[in-house]
Homo-oligomer: A and B are copies of this chain.
Amino acid sequence: MASSSSSAPWKQLLLNALDANAKLQHSSFFQLATIASNGRPSNRTVVFRGFQEGSNKIQINTDCRTRKIEEIKHYPFGEICWYFTDSWEQFRINGRIDIIDGSNSDPVMLQQREKAWFASSLKSRLQYLGPSPGVSCASEEPFKKYSLDPSSGPVDTFCLLIFDPEQVDYLNLKRHERLMFTSKRNADGFECWMLEKINP
């Protein structure tokens, strides 16, 4: 079965799962696997920041100083594993990741980064002013209180990741059903999704 609509056929399943699990704060958290510079898998929890407007691409905010940025620059592919604890659904989403930082040359991308910055809470934004994540704590360093003007734009450490899905492996444990969605480009260059029912 093939589908070539602009909205991918798995997207509605994901929106339904988000809706069915909305009362749980953690339903917007998923695990993003990438490949570390030593070649080993790397895996961490990140927060879903919505779809890029009018597309199937998934947005994630992150700090430019985290190890995942270095990893994605080296190898720009990842797999999201998103398990919904209430509806017993799992989405394994494999795709390519783009990094949008303040040095991006595309004004549309910079605008999206700015939009993502203002869409996050002031508390979240303050984290980007803190000490470098993953670096040894300088315990001598006095406790600093950071402040930020709510109207000021993204700081240099703020980074938007745009995850472009190429394959989605959907598992529904309640219905004992598994679907594999695979993206293909057709002759006209349009994205087209193939759907196959596979054994759970």
Query: Complex formed: what's the CA distance from A104 to B134 in Å?
Result: 40
Q: Is A8 an interface residue (CB 8 A)?
A: no
* Residues of the B chain whose Cβ atoms lie less than 8 Å from the Cβ of A112: none
Contact status A31-B31, CB under 8 Å: yes
- Looking at A43, A137, A200, the one whose CB has the most chain B CB atoms below 10 A away is A43
Tell me the residues in window 15-52 of chain A with beta carbons closer than 8 Å to chain B beta carbons.
24, 26, 29, 31-35, 39-45
* Residues of the B chain whose Cβ atoms lie less than 8 Å from the Cβ of A92: 42-44
Main secondary structure of the interface of A (DSSP, over half): strand
Query: Complex formed: what's the CA distance from A94 to B67 in Å?
Result: 15
On whether A43 and B83 interact (CB within 8 A), knowing A35-B35, A133-B200, A199-B130, the answer reads no
Chain B proximity of A164: nearest CB distance (Å): 13
* Residues of the B chain whose Cβ atoms lie less than 8 Å from the Cβ of A90: 44-45
Contact status A44-B131, CB under 8 Å: no
- Which chain B residue shows the least CB distance to A93? B43
Q: By the criterion of a CB under 8 Å from any partner CB, how many residues of chain A are at the interface?
A: 40
On whether A40 and B94 interact (CB within 8 A), knowing A81-B45, A130-B199, the answer reads yes
Which one of B41, B139, B199 contacts A41 once the chains associate, using CB atoms below 8 Å?
B41
Which one of B24, B33, B136, B200 contacts A43 once the chains associate, using CB atoms below 8 Å?
B33
Contact status A134-B79, CB under 8 Å: no
On whether A77 and B40 interact (CB within 8 A), knowing A85-B24, A197-B139, the answer reads yes
* Residues of the B chain whose Cβ atoms lie less than 8 Å from the Cβ of A122: none
Query: Complex formed: what's the CA distance from A35 to B78 in Å?
Result: 10
Contact status A198-B134, CB under 8 Å: yes
Task: Known pairs A41-B78, A41-B79; list 8 more (Cβ under 8 Å).
Answer: A35-B39, A35-B40, A41-B42, A42-B79, A130-B199, A133-B198, A136-B197, A137-B197
- Chain A residues proximal to chain B, CB less than 8 Å: 24, 26, 29, 31-35, 39-45, 77-81, 83, 85, 90, 92, 94, 130-137, 139, 178, 196-200
